[in-house]
Structure formats: C-alpha cells, structure tokens
Structure 1
Amino acid sequence: MSFLSCILPILKIYLLGLKVLLAQLFSRPFKLPVMPRQDGKVAIVTGGSRGIGYEVVRHMASLGAHVIIGGTDEREGLTAVRRIREEHKEANVEFQKLDLASLRSVRQFVQGFDGRGLPLHILVNNAAVMLVPQGRTEDGFERHLGVNYLGHFLLTRLLLGKLRDCGKCGSRSRVVTVSSSAHRVGEVRLDDLNGGRCYSAHTAYCQSKLALLFFTAHLQRRLDREGSAVSVCAVDPGVVDTALYRHLWPPLRLAQGAVAQLLFRTPAEGAATVLYCALEEEEERGGGGYWANGRREMTSPPTLDLRLQQGLWDASCRLVGVAQD
C-alpha cells in the first residue's frame, strides 16, 4: 500500500474528532431522565471499573440492579466496588476477572457466571483500547480487533441464551455496545482484519468500532427473525474525558488536558445514553439502532451493507470458534 493510503485514515480521524468537539461545544449534553427501578435484574458491564463503565455500574447499582463488573485489573475493580458500596450502602455490585484479549478468559468468565445460576437482563459491552502500540492478543489477533470487537463478540454469543431466557414482551433484555463516531472513517477489510498490509493503530481502532456496528445490526436482525425479546443497540458516547486517550500523539495528549473541561464530556455525561438504552422502557425508545446524545442517529453507509455484515459474522464465528447459526 502507498504511504498516502496509510496516512489518510489518520488525518480523517483527527478531522472527525475536531468536528465532534466543535459540535459538543455548541450543544448540550443529554441529561438522563429518571430511570425505573431495576430490582431483581442482573447486569454485566465490561470495563466497569472506571470512566464511562464505572458511571454505568454506579447508576445501575443505585437503582437496585445486581451488577457484575468484568475487567482485567482486580485491584481497580475492587476499588470501584468499594467506592460504589460506600455511596450506596445496599448496592449489589461485584468484580469478576475478564480479559477480553483472551478467548480463554472470556469462556472462563461465562462458565463461572453460568455456574451461579443467575439470570442476565442487561449486557453492556463497554471496555475498549484505543491507539495502543502494535501487538497481538493471546489468540494472535490485532489488539484493537481482539479486545474491542472479537472479545465482545464471543462474550455476547456465549451469553445470548441467558438474555433470550430473560427477555419478555414489554421488558426486553438489552445488549448495549459502546461504539464511536470513529466508525464513520473506518473500513472493515475481511481479507485483512489484522491489518497486516499497512498497520495503523488509528485504522485498527476505527475498524473495530465499525465492526461493532455490523455485529449489532446483524444480531438484531437475527433475533427479530426468531422472535427473541432481546434489544441490541450501539451507542456513541461522544468525546469523553477518560484514560482512553492516553496513547494519543504527545502534543495532542497535552492539548487534551488543556481543553478537556471546555470541550470533552464528563464520564457521567458519556454514560447517559448508554444508561438510557439499557434501562428505559422499550415503548419509550424502541429497540435496536445506533444512538448518540440521547437520540437515534444514522450510521455511515457501509454499515447497511448486508453482505459485508454477513461476511464479518461468518469470519468472526470462525475466528472465535463458535457456530455460525
């Protein structure tokens, strides 16, 4: 590939980021309305120890849900649990080890969850890496692809039976996946998912977020065909002041600190649409779709390509070792 074809995605993502920041400057963040109680419901939130995920867990726990944080850092996870319990004495929240960079860890997490006999009403696929140095997961996948997409793909597939069992008319189970506006400059290359031809962390990140939208749309269509009461949607939380940006080019990372208070959303503001999609009554918001700042939005045209959706689904099933149907 030419130098231009490799550098162009990098320019696109920073221009897109500038556009999003300007939009946030001149718009009010979505304010989460009062949500219904979630007593008796069980939720799993990946990456729930900090940032957007932590705010999702904290709010769900305050409404009476039993929330399980899935994450890699046990100390950070237990600290998050302690903080939430200090704020809400009756909070039913816990931490369980889950490394999305390891298909073995994902399977062990699900096996442990299944062994407890708990139901599952809400799955929030929130954990992510962004612009990390080039590397491979335990299973040989490019890190953005493996953590952001394939780990969540397998986790969702393995938990789908529980979600189907808990879904019912008027109170559907929910799968809420945190994507990004970066999907708009992404491209899914089925013949080079690991980015071996011309690696760019920026390209890999955008591809992983676009892949999540393909998965979301395709899974919702399959569930609708079989009549399952499970709603699957993707959320763009906006540009949020979290540790996700720590791998930015150093001058931009310094600029982040200077402008974050003015232009970035807070983690609580970034979590608002995630919570809305996970907790609002179905008739209020409708099922599925792509959501940003509290409302449904159109995605980029490639996400509507049904053949590409199916192709990615088939490839993903092969890569993680699950049946296609």
Structure 2
Amino acid sequence: MYLDLASLTSVRLFVQRYRAKGLPLHVLVNNAGVMLVPERRTEDGFELHFGLNYLGHFLLTILLLDVLKKSGKPGKFSRIVIMSSATHYGGRLTLDDLQGRVCYSAHGAYAQSKLALLLFSYHLQNLLWVRGDPVTVNAVDPGMVDTALYGNLSSLAQLAKKPFAKLLFRTPAEGASTAIYAAAASELEGIGGLYLYNGRKTESSALSYD
C-alpha cells in the first residue's frame, strides 16, 4: 500500500486502507526519513525534516495505536520501533521556530527531528505503562549507514566521504540489525522506553528526558 509520510493526508488514507483489511499489527517500525535536505516544505506547510521524520511517524503511530493494543497481549506485547540518530545529541527543540523560518539549518533541522522522535518515544511508553497497554516503544540509533540519505551532501563532501565510507560506515544490513533486534528479540519482551545502539541500552541526551 502506498504511503507518503510527508503528507498527512496520505498517512490518514494509508491507515484507513490498513484498517479495512482487518489485519493485526504486532510490530511498527518507523524508519522513513530525509537528511540534510535544502529548505523545503511539505504539502501541509511543515519544514520537511520535521514534517516527514517526526510528524508523519507521529500521526501514523497514533492512528494505528489501537490496532497495536488489540494485537498485543500479556507475554506477547506489540512493539513500536522508532529510528532516531546520534545527531539528536546536538539537537535542540526551538519551540518558537520549529519550522526553521527564522534561520534554516539542514543539520539543525535533522537533529531536531531526531530529538523530537526520542521525546515522543519516551512519552508514549510512559502513557502505555500507566494504562497497562500491551505495547512497548523503543528508539534505535542505526549508526552511520552508507545509504542514499547522504545524497544531499555537497559534491565536495561526497568526494570526501567516499574513502571513509567503506571503513567507517555500516552497510544497510548492519544498520538495520539493531532495529530488527528491537522488533524481535525475546529478551526485550515487555521492555520499553529504551534507546538502543549496537543492540545495547544507551543513554540518550539530557534534553531527550526533559
């Protein structure tokens, strides 16, 4: 089924179609994203990093939450996996300029979106625990992965990146490993509210716990 996370209308239509199928949902991996793109707006008027990386996933998760709750049960919780990034450590939520209209920075916008995802992950897990719902939420840092996400680097930066990519960057399969761990590992049954890197619990930024 088609889904464009940069369009809130597309997210709503996707959820309607999914619900119409009457299928359960045991795992939701929020993995789509853009990085370091020049200043652009979504069709809804949001800055692209914030609109796609955060708002699209936020709406998708909230609209599918009751399906996830119904699909989970004690001893077999449904799971939500949210892809964050180490760039969140440098992220700041500029509440009076979330859309970057005053001073746009591609790196700042990306870091802000990843910090927002972490805040959402922790807050949602707390709400689910309070309600006793059989759903866990964990955030994941896939590391530096050699994918098309880096396609928005300048030509000079692209050239500089190439010799280091094979040495320092992970393959897409390696980058996906922690997300798969969060989605399927038996030792994480019923455990949420974590930030995972290399399959291990890691401390996220102080702001992410605010």
Query: Deviation per CA, 1:106-164, whole angstroms, max 9, x where unpaired?
Result: 00000000000001000000000001111100100000000000000000000000000
After TM superposition, give the deviation of residue 288 of structure 1 in Å.
2.6
Matches within 5 A, 1:8-47: none
Query: Alignment partner for residue 152 of structure 1, among 45, 53, 57?
Result: 57
Residue aligning to 2:192: 287
The alignment partner of 2:43 has SS state of: coil
Specify the alignment match of 1:61 in structure 2. Answer: none
Structure 1: distance between partners of 2:198 and 2:124? 23
Instruction: Note the residue ranges of structure 1 that are not aligned, 5 or more in a row.
Output: 1-95, 306-325
Paired residue type of 1:138:
E
Whether 1:268 and 2:177 are equivalent positions in the alignment is no
Match of 1:19 in 2: none
Q: Quick one: which amino acid aligns to residue 291 of structure 1?
A: L
The one-letter code of the counterpart of 1:172 is F
2:43 to 113, 135, 138: 138
Aligned length in residues: 210
Q: Does 1:213 align with 2:118?
A: yes
Please give the alpha-carbon distance, in whole angstroms, between the structure 2 residues aligned to 1:160 and 1:201: 31
Which of 161, 164, 169 is the matching residue for 2:74? 169
CA distance in 2, matches of 1:304, 1:257: 36
Q: How many Å separate the matches in 2 of 1:297 and 1:245?
A: 25
| AA in 2 matched with 1:180 | S
Matches within 5 A, 1:1-325: 96-282=1-187, 286-305=191-210
Q: Is the radius of gyration larger for structure 1 or structure 2?
A: 1
Q: 1:194 to 1:281 in 2, by over 3 A?
A: same
Task: Using structure 1 for the length normalisation, give the TM-score.
Answer: 0.63
Cα distance, 1:250 vs structure 2: 2.1
SS in structure 2 at match of 1:176: strand
Aligned-residue sequence identity (percent) comes to 59
- Contact (CA 8 Å) 1:237, 1:270: kept in 2 or not? yes
Partner SS, residue 204 of structure 2: coil
Structure 2: gaps (5+ residues): none
Maintained 8 Å contact 2:78/2:135: yes
1:127 and 1:282, CA in 2 relative to 1: closer, same or farther beyond 3 A? same
Separation (CA, whole Å) in 1 of partners of 2:189 and 2:203: 19
CA distance in 1, matches of 2:75, 2:190: 12
| Coordinate RMSD, CA, aligned | 1.2
Is the 2:134–2:190 Cα contact (8 Å) retained in structure 1? no
User: AA paired with 2:53?
Assistant: N
1:142/1:229 Cα in 2 relative to 1: closer, same or farther (>3 Å)?
A: same
Question: Partner amino acid for 2:14?
Answer: F
Deviation, 1:252, is 1.7
Residues 76 and 189 of structure 2 are in contact (CA less than 8 Å); yes or no, is this contact kept in structure 1? no
Letter in 2 for 1:122: V
Relative to 1, partners in 2 of residues 1:245 and 1:285: Cα closer, same or farther, differing over 3 Å?
Answer: farther
CA contact (8 A) 1:171 1:281 kept: no
Question: How far is the alpha carbon of 1:282 from its aligned partner?
Answer: 4.6
Please say if residues 136 and 190 of structure 2, whose CA atoms lie closer than 8 Å, have aligned partners that are also in contact.
no
Q: TM-score of the superposition, structure 2-length normalised?
A: 0.97
SS at match of 1:97: coil
